[in-house]
Amino acid sequence: MKDAGVLTAGVVTVSLASKDAAAETRDTGGDPSKRWAMVVDLRKCIACQACSVACIMENKVPYDNFRTIVSTYEVKDGDKVGIFMLPRLCNHCEEPACIPVCPVGATYQKKDGIVVVDNTRCVGCGYCVQACPYDARFINPKTRTADKCTFCTHRLEAGLLPACVETCVGGARVIGDIKDPNSEASKLLATNEVKVLRPEMNTQPHVYYIGLDSRFQGKVGGEEALWRPGRDHEESLR
């Protein structure tokens, strides 16, 4: 099949040549003088989920899915029990694992670093969902295409903050152009110790965490959160 230039994924058959054509002809958009990144100060996060709800409303995220969520974990230290909060979203990596696996070039990176999905090209094969080390993608059940956080690029282009940043009660989320040393994000990176999730994947994530315990750097999925979109609604109906 490799010689024929065709890739079959389940019931989906696509030409590999279309991926190269897409890469060559697409204007990816974005301002190359900027590099957007987010800094999340975990010391300020209270797991209120205002960010999750705002994202759902802004981006019409379908039921029981999320583009961003605050995962919560019960932590025990001797006789003491606490809650650890971990806001999660697409990391808009410098070396995104999701892009090279897309057989049709539907996932691409804008010149400002934001990774997006062209759902007019996406065939819903799910390769990018599996490739993402951060469990930050899903197949939208309505569009049947890949879906994810876009840093609310439509709002950034209009001079607005992403919905999650604008509604964060504690001011834990900060977005900014890290090519600008005077941006708030750049200043936070310069004055704080920051960590990223799954550093061993070498994707160079551009979501940075202040106050992230290294023991939680791999906690990106596989454990039930205390709250998630859809679940509380289901329980309220019982």
Task: Tell me the percentage of the chain whose pLDDT exceeds 90.
Answer: 71
Calculate the average pLDDT of the chain: 86
Task: Give the predicted TM-score (pTM) of the model.
Answer: 0.83
Residues 6+ apart with CB under 8 A from 21: 105
User: In the chain, what are the domain boundaries?
Assistant: 36-96+150-215
pLDDT bin (cut points 50, 70, 90) of residue 169 is: very high
pLDDT number for residue 73: 86
| Right CATH for 36-96+150-215 from 3.50.50.60, 3.40.50.410, 1.50.40.10, 3.30.70.20 | 3.30.70.20
Tell me the average pLDDT across 90-105. 98
pLDDT tens-digit readout, 116-154: 999 999 999 999 999 999 999 999 999 999 999 999 999
Q: Using CA atoms, how far apart are residues 57 and 192, in angstroms rounded to an integer?
A: 32
Least confident of 39-43, 71-75, 143-147: 71-75
Give SS3 for 201.
helix
Tell me the average pLDDT across 214-237. 58
Q: Using CA atoms, how far apart are residues 93 and 81, in angstroms rounded to an integer?
A: 34
